[in-house]
Amino acid sequence: MSSAVRSFLRDDDLSPAEQSHVLDRAAALKAAPYDHKPLAGPRTVATIYDKPTLRTQSSFAAGIAELGGFPMLVDGALAGIGVRESVADVARVLGRQAGVIVWRTFAQVKLDQMAAYAGVPVVNALTDEFHPCQLLADLLTIREHKGTLAGLTVAFLGDAACNMGNSWALAGVTAGMHVRFGAPEGYVPDTEVLARADEIGKATGGSVELHTDASSAVADADVLVTDTWVSMGKEDEAAARTAVFSPYSLTTALVSRAKPDAIVLHCLPAYRGKEIDAEVLDGPQSVVWDEAENRRHAQKAILAFLAEQSGISAPSAELVEAHGTSR
Ligand code: CP
């Protein structure tokens, strides 16, 4: 194993050039889903889900298989990660069984520990703080529909004090986008994340703006994004959160204030009549089903990138050269 193991723990683990490369790779993998098998062997990818999931578990399983690998589902509760034994010891063991570890869990610090001790790439499949794989899929979807990312304005409405808010600030600005958050006071991304986004924006031209008025946030935007108001673990606050966030519901009236060709994203699951009108989610400007499909292509691209960077697989060009054909 190379000592330069690369993980994908938060959005800014990819430089702007690397993010662009991974998105290019995702588009190529989408065009030819069965032609590139950097995990042939099959190499095992351990996947662990400590929170509910449909899109993430299905897209990783399908994508790993398409890359020639074996998606090993590890039951986190059965393993008792951090309870029966430390995260560090779990990491040491899984790193001897799998070439990559994919983990959806609670605190980011646990993911950081896994990456520190595994000796193989670790991928964030969602933590309380970040959801970087979702953002790669979102950016891929926007690029498909708009042809570009840099310079576009995206308006994220609702609860921005969550993993999606943090990830949009980092990934959007890395792509050179102008990210506007339309959110109540106190429901904005982490201070450290906002400072980091500002720093990245100096190089990419991207920016972050905080709006408490939903109408000003969406004005002339190219992309509209929202997410559930009740993130996993906040279920007992549902009534209070509905009251706080209802002015930020993505209604047909708000959509009409964006550019006429604006597209609508939602990472799903969605709650029609809460954070988004049914007419918007199911309407002609919605690209949410492309977005859900793109989880697979984007995750295949980041897995292939990390495998190459970490010496687990040869770069794709070398594979083509070595075997005379794309594998
Ligand atoms: N968007 C998303 O991560 O979906 P799941 O929670 O179903 O995996």
Contact 167, 140 (CB under 8 A): no
Contact 191, 121 (CB under 8 A): no
Q: Which residues pair with 225 in a beta bridge?
A: 156, 265
SS3 label, residue 3: coil
Does a cis peptide bond (omega within 30 degrees of 0) precede residue 42?
Answer: yes
Catalytic residue among 10, 43, 104, 297: 104
Q: What is the pLDDT of residue 315?
A: 75
User: How many angstroms separate the alpha carbon of residue 161 from the centre of ligand 1?
Assistant: 18
* Residue ranges of the chain with per-residue pLDDT less than 50: 1-2, 318-327
Q: Which amino acid is at 224?
A: L
User: How many angstroms separate the alpha carbon of residue 183 from the centre of ligand 1?
Assistant: 22
| pLDDT, tens digit (0-9, with 9 covering 90-100), for 25-81 | 999 999 999 999 999 999 999 999 999 999 999 999 999 999 999 999 999 999 999
Probe residue for ligand 1, chosen from 124, 141, 293, 295 as the CB with the greatest number of ligand atoms within 8 Å: 295
Q: Which amino acid is at 283?
A: G
- Is 134 annotated as catalytic? yes
- Is 131 annotated as catalytic? yes
User: How many angstroms separate the alpha carbon of residue 58 from the centre of ligand 1?
Assistant: 9
Catalytic residue among 25, 143, 295, 297: 295
